[in-house]
Amino acid sequence: NGNTLGAGTVVYRGAATTVSDPGRAAGTTYDCKLSSVTTSDYSAGVTAQASTLALPTLPTPTATSIGQTVATLGATITATGGVALTQRGTVYGTSANPTGNLLAEGGTAAGAFSHERTSLTQGTKYYYRGYASNTAGVAYSSDGSFHTEPGQASGVQFTAVLGTTMTISWTAGAA
């Protein structure tokens, strides 16, 4: 390690047929030259290119059709990281940067996706993110947030309606 040979840096010298070269930047293509070395000379060698993997890119999540206990959540995947996606979907919770309540949407392509999330609690603020995974790992979009609709009042009654006053009573909806 750290030795120079010709115009490059020697990563490995020895008899092995594989070597790990950690610390490379994600999503970058590297030129590699494999040469045979003697005490004073080295062969022309074989040149190859290898690219490191990158995480998918999901800039912004989406939320539509928000109801009392449902919402349609999604995101747009603008880059796969150079390899096939293995999963995409959404996560949500009541705190920022959620990773729980993970649900795969079912697709594995770049582009926009969405799916319905159910069993939410009425009148609650939720944070959500889109996610996508590939062999490099899992990437999340930035946070979005929304409030589910509160429960609706029912049984509204007007009583004691006199001149300029009245009494109104109702049954409150769920929080």
The pLDDT, as a whole number, for residue 25 is: 72
Look-up: residue for tokens 């790990």?
20
In angstroms, the CA 140 to CA 77 distance is 10
The model's confidence at residue 36, banded by pLDDT at 50, 70 and 90, is low
- Digit-coded pLDDT (tens) for 61-106: 999 999 999 999 999 999 999 899 999 999 999 999 999 999 999 9
* Helix, strand, coil percentages, rounded to 5, for the chain: 0, 45, 55
The model's confidence at residue 174, banded by pLDDT at 50, 70 and 90, is low
Enter the tokens of residue 63: 């939320």
Q: What is the DSSP string of 113-175?
A: EEEEE--PPTT-EEEEEEEEEETTEEEE---EEEEPPPPPPEEEEEEEEETTEEEEEEEPPP-
Largest CA distance in the chain: 110
